Structure 1
C-alpha cells in the first residue's frame, strides 16, 4: 500500500542519513544493522521516478565478502601473476570492469595476501565495503570536501606502502595516483572500462601525462563474473538448459590480465593506438576474456551462453 511505501521510505532515509525533505533528486547513503552474528552494511541509492522515489538497497557482508584469492577462480597463470604483482614495492595496478563484476572483492583478496607483512596499507573508498584487520580504511565524504583526490593527497602524508583507491573518477585523482606510484607507493585502483586495454586510452583521455603513466603502470586486470555449472550439468552427457538458473550454482571470475613490459611501456610513451598495444600484449602471452571463457567452456566450468552474456 502507499502508506507502507511511505513508512518504508522514511525509515530507509532516516537510517541512511538521506535528506527527508528531498524527493526530486538522486541521493546515496548507507547504514548498518546487527545480524545475529555480525554487522551488515547496506548501501542505499534513490532516484526520482514518475510515481515516487525508487530505491535500491545493496547488502555488503563484511565477513563473507573477503574471499581468499585462491577461491576467486582465476586461472593459475593469472593467479600467480597477481600474487607477484601485489608484492611489488611500487607502481600502479588497475582493476577494471562494470559495476558488480567483483573488482572490490579482488582488491581485498589481494590485500589479504600481504596483510601482516609489515607494510602500511591505507584504503580510500566510497564507501568502505569490507572490514580487514591490520589496515587503515578511510571513506570519502564529499559534503566535507574529502574526495578521492583530496583524500589521496592526505593519505600520502602517512607514508603508506600500499594504497587502495576505490575508483579513479577524474584527472586530479588519476594523476595523483600515478605520481604516488612513481614515488615509492604501490597503488591499487579501479576503473570502469569494458576491457583491460581500454584502461590505457581512458586515463590518457582524462589528461594523464603519458610520460608519468607509462613508467608507473604495472598491470591491468579486467574481469567479469560468470555463473558456474552445477555438478550435474558438468557431466559430459548432461543435457541442461543453459537458460535455466538451476543449471548454475555459483560464480567465478572471468579475467584478462595485461602485464606492462618495457615494449608496452615504450608504446604508451609514444602514444601508439591501443590496438597496436593489444597486438604486442598478445605476442607476450596475453589472452582476452573471451579466450579464457573458451577454456572455461571446454573444461565444463560454465556455458558458452554464460560467457556470451557477460562479455557481449
Structure 2
C-alpha cells in the first residue's frame, strides 16, 4: 500500500464531512499547513511534516497524471472518484512552484446530489428572471462574479433545467469538465492536443447545437467567437470574472469587444454573490443576483461609466433586503447589513 494513502484518505474524509470546497497546502521549510475553505471562508485545519507533505504531493500528482519530477512550473490535473466510499467527487488540482517546494490547491467537485435551479437563489423573483433569460431563441447569456461565487454551479443547474424542459442538442466546452450532465455532449479542452476553445467552438457549431456552453470567456479571442456564435442563431451560455453586472460590460469593452457587437448579441448579464443566510435554523449560503437585460443592458453598453445599476437591482439593496426579511445568518452582523 502506498504510504501516503492513509493520510490522504483521512484528510479527504474530513474535508468532505465538513463540506469543504477547497483544500490549500502551504509548505514551509519544516512543515506544511493545511487549510479548508468552508462556506466561502478559509479555515486552518492542521499541520503535517515536510516528509508527509512530500509523500502526499507525489501521490496526488501521480494520480492526477501530472509530472512528478517537475517542480519548477505550475501544473494542473484532475482525479475522479479517488475514494468511492466517500461519494462521487472529482478533484481539480493545481500546483505552484515555491523557493524550495510547491504549494497545492485542490477543488472538490461533487458529482451527485446537485441542487436544482429552484434551490440556489434567495429571492424567487430573481429565479424567474433567470429562467426568462434562459429561454431566448439566440444570443449570449453571461453569468459573472468573482472566484467561488457559484458561477459554475448556476450554469450547470441552468443547463440541467433546460434539458428537462426541452429536447435540445446541447454542447459544452470546458476546461476542465467539472460535472457530468446527462444527454449533453461535454468536450474537455486540451490545448496540447489541439482542442482549444476556438477549435472546439468551430467543431461544435458543425454539430447542429441548440445550446452552447463555454466554461469561461478567458480571453478576447474566445469572447469574440462566443459573440459571433450567438449571432448565428445559437443560444450561448458562459461565465466571466467580474465584480458586478456593470463591471462585466466595462471589462468586455476593455477587451476590445465593440459596443455594437454587445448590443446585437448580449441577452443578459447576471452577476452572482453568495451570502450567508439562516433558514429553519440552518446556516447556508444562497445567491443574490444583479441583472442587466433589456433597456438597462443597452444603457450600460452605450453609457460606459455614466451608467449605474438601479438601486433596487444592486447587491447593496439586495443585502439590505435579505437582512430586513430575517434571512441574514451569523457572520453578517447588523451593522454590516446596514452599511452595505
Query: Could you tell me the TM-score, scaled by structure 2's length?
Result: 0.78
Are the counterparts in 1 of residues 312 and 318 from structure 2 also a CA contact under 8 Å? Answer: no
- Residues 267 and 85 from structure 1, CA distance in 2 versus in 1: closer, same or farther, beyond 3 angstroms? closer
After TM superposition, the structure 1 stretch with the greater mean CA deviation from structure 2, 159-168 or 33-42, is 33-42
- Aligned counterparts, 1:63-212, within 5 A: 63-64=112-113, 66-116=114-164, 117-212=166-261
Pick from 65, 77, 88: which aligns with 1:39?
Answer: 88
Are the counterparts in 1 of residues 172 and 187 from structure 2 also a CA contact under 8 Å? Answer: yes
- Residues 150 and 260 from structure 1, CA distance in 2 versus in 1: closer, same or farther, beyond 3 angstroms? farther
The structure with higher relative contact order (CA 8 Å, sep 6+) is 1
**Do structure 1's residue 259 and structure 2's residue 285 form an aligned pair?**
no
Q: How many residues align?
A: 287
- Residues 49 and 26 from structure 1, CA distance in 2 versus in 1: closer, same or farther, beyond 3 angstroms? same
Are the counterparts in 2 of residues 29 and 43 from structure 1 also a CA contact under 8 Å? Answer: yes
- Residues 272 and 73 from structure 1, CA distance in 2 versus in 1: closer, same or farther, beyond 3 angstroms? closer
DSSP-derived class of the 1:101 partner? coil
DSSP-derived class of the 1:272 partner? helix
Mapped partners of 1:82, 1:267: distance in 2: 19
Mapped partners of 2:220, 2:232: distance in 1: 18
DSSP-derived class of the 1:5 partner? helix
Mapped partners of 1:198, 1:16: distance in 2: 36
After TM superposition, the structure 1 stretch with the greater mean CA deviation from structure 2, 43-52 or 178-187, is 43-52
Pick from 223, 227, 243: which aligns with 2:276?
Answer: 227
Mapped partners of 2:279, 2:259: distance in 1: 46
* Gap regions ≥5 residues in structure 2: 1-48
* Gap regions ≥5 residues in structure 1: 233-247
